[in-house]
A and B are shown apart, each in its own frame.
Chain A
Amino acid sequence: ETGVTQSPTHLIKTRGQQVTLRCSSQSGHNTVSWYQQALGQGPQFIFQYYREEENGRGNFPPRFSGLQFPNYSSELNVNALELDDSALYLCASSLSPRASGNTIYFGEGSWLTVV
């Protein structure tokens, strides 16, 4: 148990639809990062939020957007879904943006299938 919870665990969407994924970070953690992991691949960094502000973004189009709330929970929104968006979406929380490897905690992820 990492204390990071994500919902939903599995969902199926149709191409062109929109999806919102949610993450509750570990208590006291003010930094949340989102990753996309396609089947058989390593996680790819989408973006990071620190104290409700975006703090860096990976190579993902603007239809991937996010929010972080005052309680540091976070949402990932994806608009105009494409088939290639099918993946496991992972949320990771940490005490700060400068956290090192052993203080970054991942959730179990949300499996998104786009049909």
Chain B
Amino acid sequence: GQSLEQPSEVTAVEGAIVQINCTYQTSGFYGLSWYQQHDGGAPTFLSYNALDGLEETGRFSSFLSRSDSYGYLLLQELQMKDSASYFCAVRDPREGGQGGKLIFGQGTELSVKP
């Protein structure tokens, strides 16, 4: 089956850097996305990697290694408002990777302490 694994929780302090890892097992691959969700609200898109390497968007960066079936989200200069759940997700390869059908990891709850 298709599955993604990520740590259940991570704690860090304000101003620090934190890395949230995601490993995936899928029969095909069409890119890895990262979403942020505050208190069960709307997941909001953070970053997307279709190819190996690092994508940088402000304080957030995401990395992908397709040979290792592995990616991570890097959050720099942590702020209290970054306390949220973070999900990695892949497009469902069983549907030819057609966009809206995403498979999500279980989520990592990030707690940022003062």
Residues of A in contact with B (beta carbons under 8 Å apart): 2, 4, 31, 33, 35, 37, 39-45, 48, 56, 58, 88, 90, 92, 94, 96-104, 106-109, 111
Produce 1/0 per residue, B66-101, CB < 8 A to A.
000000000000000000000101011001001111
CB distance B100 to A92 under 8 Å? yes
Residues of B in contact with A (beta carbons under 8 Å apart): 4, 31, 33, 40-45, 48, 50, 87, 89, 91-92, 95, 98-107
The CA-CA distance from A8 to B91 in the complex, in Å, is 28
CB distance A42 to B105 under 8 Å? yes
| A42-B99 contact in complex given A90-B43, A109-B40, A109-B42, C-beta closer than 8 Å | no
The CA-CA distance from A41 to B85 in the complex, in Å, is 10
CB distance B45 to A102 under 8 Å? yes
CB distance B99 to A100 under 8 Å? yes
The CA-CA distance from A107 to B87 in the complex, in Å, is 16
**Distance (whole angstroms) from the CB of B97 to the closest CB of chain A:** 8
CB distance A98 to B99 under 8 Å? yes
CB distance B31 to A100 under 8 Å? yes
Which chain A residue shows the least CB distance to B48?
A101
CB distance A40 to B99 under 8 Å? no
CB distance B99 to A106 under 8 Å? no
The CA-CA distance from A43 to B91 in the complex, in Å, is 13
The CA-CA distance from A55 to B33 in the complex, in Å, is 21
CB distance A56 to B33 under 8 Å? no
The 6 closest A-B pairs by CB, nearest first: A42-B104, A101-B33, A99-B99, A101-B48, A33-B100, A106-B42
Knowing that A40-B106, A97-B99, A100-B99 touch, tell me 9 more A-B residue pairs with CB under 8 angstroms. Answer: A2-B44, A33-B101, A41-B106, A43-B87, A45-B92, A94-B100, A100-B50, A106-B43, A106-B44
CB distance B101 to A40 under 8 Å? no
CB distance A56 to B95 under 8 Å? yes
